[in-house]
Amino acid sequence: MSRIPFPIKDMKRRKLPTLLTILSLTISVASTIFLILMGENIGFNLESVTGGQLASGFSLIFSRFIVFVSILNLLTGALVVLFLFSLAMSERIRDIGVMKAFGCLTSSVFGIFATELFLMIFLGCIIGTVAGLVAYLGVSYIIGLSYLSNVNWWSILLVLLGFFLLSHFFGAKPIVKAIQMKPADALSSSHLFGTTTEFSGKSLSRFGLTLRVAFRSLMRRALPTRNIFLCLTMILTLVTVAVAGGLVAKETTVNYLERAVGRDVILVAHKDMIEQYANLLLQFQEAKPIKTVDYFDLRYAIPESLIQQLTNIPSVTKSEKRLLFETTVYEGYGVIIYPFDSSAYYFVGEGRSGKTFAMGIEPANVVSNWLIQGKPLTNETLDSAMIGASLADTMFTKPLNQTIKISESSYEIAGICIDPFNNGNVSYVSFNSLSSSLREFGNNLLFLKTNRKDNTQFLAQIDSFLSETNFEFLELNSVLDENISFLEKTWSLVMLLPLSSLATAVFCLFIYLMFSITEQQREFGIMRALGTKIKVVAKIVVVQVLAILFASSISGASIGFLIVYLLMIPEPIISLSTIYALMILIGLAIVFLTLFSLYATLKVIRKPILETLHPLLISPDSDSDV
Partner 1 sequence: MKDNKEKVVCVSSLGKTYQIGDVKIRALENVNLEVTKGELVAIHGPSGAGKTTLLNIVGGIDYPTSGEIIVFGQNLATCDEEYLATFRCAYIEFVFQSYNLISTLTAIENVAFPMELAQWPEDYIQERSKELLEIVGLSHRADHFPSQLSGGEQQRAAFARALANNALLILADEPTGNLDGKTGKAIIGILEKLKSDGKTQIVATHDEEILQLADQIIKIEEGRIIQA
Binding site for partner 1 (CB under 8 A): 189-195, 205, 209, 212-213, 216-217, 220-221, 522-523, 526-536, 608-610, 613, 620-621
Nearer to partner 1, 191 or 449 (CB): 191
Nearer to partner 1, 207 or 347 (CB): 207
Rounded to 10 degrees, the C-alpha dihedral 143/145/148/150 comes to: -130
Nearer to partner 1, 209 or 554 (CB): 209
Nearer to partner 1, 339 or 620 (CB): 620
Nearest approach, Cβ of 107 to partner 1 (angstroms)? 29
> Distance between terminal CA atoms of the chain?
8
* Cross-strand pairs, 388: 417
Nearest approach, Cβ of 8 to partner 1 (angstroms)? 21
The strand pair at 426-430 and 353-361 is best described as: parallel
Handedness of CA 14, 19, 24, 30 (dihedral sign): positive
Distance from C-alpha of 174 to C-alpha of 477, rounded to nearest angstrom:
60
Nearest to 162 by CA among 81, 44, 240: 81
The strand pair at 265-270 and 471-475 is best described as: antiparallel
Distance from C-alpha of 392 to C-alpha of 508, rounded to nearest angstrom:
43
Nearest approach, Cβ of 619 to partner 1 (angstroms)? 9
Nearest approach, Cβ of 621 to partner 1 (angstroms)? 4
Q: Is 478 helix (H, G, I), strand (E, B) or coil?
A: helix
Residue 432 DSSP label: G
Nearer to partner 1, 205 or 432 (CB): 205
Nearer to partner 1, 215 or 428 (CB): 215
- Asked if 593 and 510 count as a contact pair (C-beta separation under 8 A), the reply is no
Nearer to partner 1, 24 or 90 (CB): 90
Residue 245 DSSP label: I
Nearest approach, Cβ of 79 to partner 1 (angstroms)? 25
- Asked if 344 and 338 count as a contact pair (C-beta separation under 8 A), the reply is yes
Distance from C-alpha of 243 to C-alpha of 464, rounded to nearest angstrom:
49
Residue type, 476: L
Nearest approach, Cβ of 563 to partner 1 (angstroms)? 35
Distance from C-alpha of 583 to C-alpha of 540, rounded to nearest angstrom:
27
Nearer to partner 1, 398 or 606 (CB): 606
